[in-house]
Amino acid sequence: MRLTLSQEEARQVVGLATDLAARYGSSEDPEFVANASVHAHDLPIRLRLALNQFRLFEPQTAILRVAGYPISDEEIGLTPSHWKERQKHCIPVKEEIVLMLMGALLGDAIAWATQQDGALVHDIAPIKAHEKEQLGSGSAQELTWHTEDAFHPFRGDYLAMMCLRNPDRVPTTFAGLEVSGLDDETLDLLFEPHFTIRPDESHLVKNRIDPITGQALTDAHSRIDEMNTRPAPISVLFGSRETPYCRLDPYFMDPPENPAAKEALDRLIDHMDSRLEDVTLEAGEVCFIDNFMAVHGRRPYKARFDGTDRWLKRLNITRNLRLSREARPASESRLLM
């Protein structure tokens, strides 16, 4: 599903973002974060209706693309060479605010203490030292398809990505789940807890920048380490039998011990492989992926490392903030420890 903002709608979005940027100064401002779902009522009605439908009707297409937000390539400044450089670059506050506002119509944004120093809005841009890694900041290797934060029980219901620039038209990959082609026995096995998923590299201590920022963060990393060494058994499908939800990240999954379960998983992986398609995001385009109904990744590319590279902003969104209350310091806090 793709919606293109009309010129009038785009003007309305820009006007709102400009006002809010002046009022709050940052997309991470706690007051803005708390008020985002209310300010989102001032987005164009057609956009609000589309996001509401996407949330409620859970279309099997599982992706909603919103195009037509005007980006000034000059105004957003250079692509940062590392997400930790954020403060040193000009921060595209308006664009981050737009992403937060649209996302607020699907749920509440969440941040991981163990990822990008706890930022809500992530930078996805190539990092030279990560060139060959399985990370959003990698480039030379295909980022194999996955559920975002598949290993974690508090992973987002949605992943939102806003494209700031993509000069070499590097595709994101995407596949919606559709199980009508799978036999009953395979489905039974996929709905049973035969599987494990380890944390992806982005959450591991080696990708943390500040050596220690308090006991809470150290504890958060210990919990992630525990999930790495002793991942809990899970089912990869859950919810409705006809239109299931899924939780998959084959790169970080060990083959199940049960041979029938292994075969069922292989079948599902082949099935997703065969459905994988390219989605090339354009500057100003925002895409919302249903993280329970689809997987995504990125094709390999040759990064430039000169400030003109592909640059996306990423947001994780939950429909139920309460689910993770034990992992957050306060009811309104978005930081998962």
Q: Find the binder of ligand AKG among 16, 36, 312, 317 (CB under 6 A).
A: 312
Nearest approach, Cβ of residue 96 and ligand AKG (Å): 16
Stated as kind and residue range, the H or E segment containing 98 is: helix 93-103
Residue 247 CA, chain-centre distance (Å), reads: 14
124 binds ligand AKG (CB under 6 A): yes
164 binds ligand AKG (CB under 6 A): no
Size of the site for ligand AKG (CB under 6 A): 10
149 binds Fe ion (CB under 5 A): no
Size of the site for Fe ion (CB under 5 A): 1
234, two tokens: 């899970």
250 binds ligand AKG (CB under 6 A): no
Q: Which residue is nearest to ligand AKG (CB)?
A: 136
Nearest approach, Cβ of residue 167 and ligand AKG (Å): 14
The dihedral region occupied by 116, where left means phi > 0, alpha psi between -120 and 50, and beta the remainder, is left
- Using DSSP, state whether 233 is helix, strand or coil: coil
27 binds ligand AKG (CB under 6 A): no
297 binds ligand AKG (CB under 6 A): yes
For residue 73, which phi and psi values (nearest 5 degrees)? Answer: -60, -30
Nearest approach, Cβ of residue 3 and Fe ion (Å): 22
- Using DSSP, state whether 302 is helix, strand or coil: coil
Nearest approach, Cβ of residue 102 and Fe ion (Å): 18
| Beta strand segments in the chain, E | 2-4, 63-67, 108-112, 122-124, 143-146, 158-165, 172-176, 237-239, 244-246, 277-279, 286-290, 294-298, 311-318, 335-336
- 69 vs 252, beta carbon nearer Fe ion: 252
222 and 120 Cβ atoms separated by less than 8 Å: no
- 148 vs 192, beta carbon nearer Fe ion: 148
Nearest approach, Cβ of residue 92 and ligand AKG (Å): 17
CA distances to 10, 15, 82, 86 from 77, rounded to whole Å, are 21, 20, 14, 11
Q: Give the range of 83-91, 99-107, 208-216, 296-304 binding ligand AKG by CB under 6 A.
A: 296-304
Nearest approach, Cβ of residue 44 and ligand AKG (Å): 26
- 50 vs 124, beta carbon nearer Fe ion: 124
172 binds, among ligand AKG, Fe ion, none (CB under 5 to 8 A by kind): ligand AKG
201, two tokens: 């590299």
Q: Find the binder of ligand AKG among 92, 136, 199, 256 (CB under 6 A).
A: 136
Q: Find the binder of ligand AKG among 198, 296, 313, 328 (CB under 6 A).
A: 296
- Using DSSP, state whether 158 is helix, strand or coil: strand
Neighbours of 323 (CB within 10 A): 12
Q: Give the range of 2-10, 88-96, 141-149, 187-195 binding Fe ion by CB under 5 A.
A: 141-149
d(CA 151, CA 191): 16
Query: Footprint of ligand AKG on this chain (CB under 6 A)?
Result: 124, 136, 143, 148, 172, 296-298, 312, 314
